[in-house]
Amino acid sequence: MKKYLYLIIALFTIVSFASCSSKNEEASNEEHEEHGQEGVVVLNEQQQKALNLKLGQMQKRNLTTVVKTNGELAVPPSSSADITAVIGGNVKRINVFHGDYVRKGQLLAVLEHPDYIAIQEDFAEVANSLEFLEKEYERQKELFENNVGAGKDYQQAKSRYNTAKARYEGLKSRLLLLHLSPEKVKEGKISNTINIVSPINGYVNEINIKVGTYVDAKDKLFEITDNSAIHADFLIYEKDVHLVKLGQKVHFTVSNRPDKEFTANVFAIGKEFDANNRAVHIHAKINEKVLGLVPGMYISGHLHTDEKYTETLPNEAIVAEGTKSYIFVLVDKNKDEHTHDEMAEKEDEHTHGEEGHEQNENDENKKAFKMVEVITGQKDDGYTEVHLVDSLPENTQVVLNAAYYLLADMKKEETEHEH
């Protein structure tokens, strides 16, 4: 009897042990499932905003031979004008203000002076006498050709007429320079003022006059610049000049917009060295149409001397873990819905508890990001060459910044789950 009792106890012990092992295995599996997929981090909308998270795709960039350069924005001589008075006078009126946009021919200021009256009087006098001298010249010419008049009288009439005609044309040109109408002057309409007008379209950068002040012909009254013709003026140092060619693309940033990169193509290369810098000026046409660029702004850039483009990402998109490098890509909800939902659920439990879970269950802005291994190459100007170890689906969105913080957050979650 005792023998059968011992046998029953032994069998019960074996069954109990097997049952416990099975439960422990199931618990282990449940715990593993609870941790979710490794290498994935979930961020809610608030966390994304705090990190200023940016998504995008890899960019093709030229990371071959690079020439560093700097300079400033400039306009060609034909797009900048220093405006002076043809004849000195007193400022009667100023019609523009600093920074105003003006068109070619627009009135800028009005000057007045007695000399303007004198020029018009001289022109009117010469214009009135010219008609008489022309008829006298034609009469003497006809007499001379018919052998009736003396040659001396003909020559004198011709000389007086040509002299008056030259003076007439000279005074007429001066009136036109002063923006006065010769026809009105001949009609007796004399003005004691002249108009100063803009010779080009552009912005008023300088006003060097005041009402009532006298200005001479050599004084600069206004400076106007046409910013629509602005270009990049770079300095290339002596050791790099031989690498520069017409048509090469330059990537550059402007001092007041360090986060925005512009491109330009070289259209002119200087033929002499700047004595102070031992450098050559190159001029490049800006490809983008951007408002707010002003001549004189400092620019910094680089140009590539050959064409070999490769996939790149900003340095902030790449993080090192041991000897390997990684990036984070957005998990596609449609293709990996189970993983995304599971990770989002565990993130809610981990971060907010049961109350936070209910609140975030309806939050559609949560995103899951998966860590992907890459091999890095050359670096230049904040970008790094990237080669994928495993291919990614087309149009995969990549985290362009804050990769370090995503890795730290993922490690924090893994550590807490282990505990």
What per-residue confidence (pLDDT) applies to 193? 92
Q: Is the per-residue pLDDT at 181 higher than 80?
A: yes
Highest averaged pLDDT of the listed ranges 195-204, 276-285, 329-338? 195-204
At 320 the three-state DSSP class reads strand
Cβ count within 10 A of residue 161? 21
- Dump pLDDT digits (tens) for 209-257: 999 999 998 999 999 999 888 999 999 988 888 888 898 889 899 988 8
Amino acid identity, residue 155?
Answer: Q
Return the ∠ at Cα 300 (arms to 294 and 302), rounded to 5°.
130
Look-up of token digits 């059968």: 4
Confidence bin at 34 (pLDDT 50/70/90): very low
Q: Is pLDDT at 43 greater than 50 in this prediction?
A: yes
What pLDDT is recorded for position 64? 66
Number of CB atoms found within 10 A of residue 115's CB: 14
Closest to 54 in 3D by CA, of 317, 262, 279: 317
Over residues 273-299, the pLDDT tens digits come to 877 778 899 999 999 887 788 889 999
Tell whether the model's pLDDT for residue 357 goes beyond 90: no
Read off the DSSP letter of residue 146: T
What is the mean predicted confidence (pLDDT) over 69-77? 91
Highest averaged pLDDT of the listed ranges 107-111, 254-258, 329-333, 397-401: 107-111
Highest mean pLDDT: which of 3-7, 8-12, 132-136, 387-391? Answer: 387-391
Q: Could you tell me what percentage of the chain is helix, strand and coil, using 3-state DSSP and rounding each to the nearest 5?
A: 40, 35, 30
Please report the pLDDT score of residue 206 as a whole number: 93
Distance CA 165, CA 136 (A): 13
Query: CA Rg, the chain, in Å?
Result: 42
Residue 197 identity: V
Question: CA nearest 399: which of 156, 410, 355?
Answer: 410
Place of tokens 């189970």: 338
pLDDT in tens, 94-104: 999 998 999 99
- What would the mean pLDDT of 320-349 be, rounded to a whole number? 67
What's residue 234's pLDDT? 94
pLDDT of residue 74: 92
Helix 151-177 and helix 114-145, axial crossing angle in degrees, nearest 10: 150
Q: Give yes or no for a contact between 313 and 327, defined as CB atoms under 8 angstroms apart.
A: yes
Confidence at 416, pLDDT banded by 50, 70, 90: low
Q: Using DSSP, state whether 122 is helix, strand or coil.
A: helix
Q: Which CATH class is domain 62-77+226-309?
A: mainly beta
What are the helix and strand counts (H, E) for the chain?
7, 23
What number of CA atoms fall less than 13 Å from residue 213's CA on the CB side?
13
| Mean pLDDT (the chain, rounded) | 80
> E strands along 322-382, which residues?
324-330, 367-380
Map out the domains of the chain as residue ranges.
36-61+312-418, 62-77+226-309, 117-186
What pLDDT does residue 2 have?
45
For the segment 113-127, the average pLDDT, to the nearest whole number, is 90
From the number of C-beta atoms within 10 Å of its C-beta (0-12, 13-18, 19+), residue 323 rates as exposed
Are 36-61+312-418 and 62-77+226-309 equal in CATH topology?
Answer: no
Maximum Cα interatomic distance, the chain, rounded to a whole number of Å: 177
The CATH number for 36-61+312-418, chosen from 3.40.50.300, 3.40.800.10, 2.40.420.20, 3.40.190.10, is: 2.40.420.20
DSSP state string for 43-68: E-HHHHHHHT--EE--EEEE-SSEEE
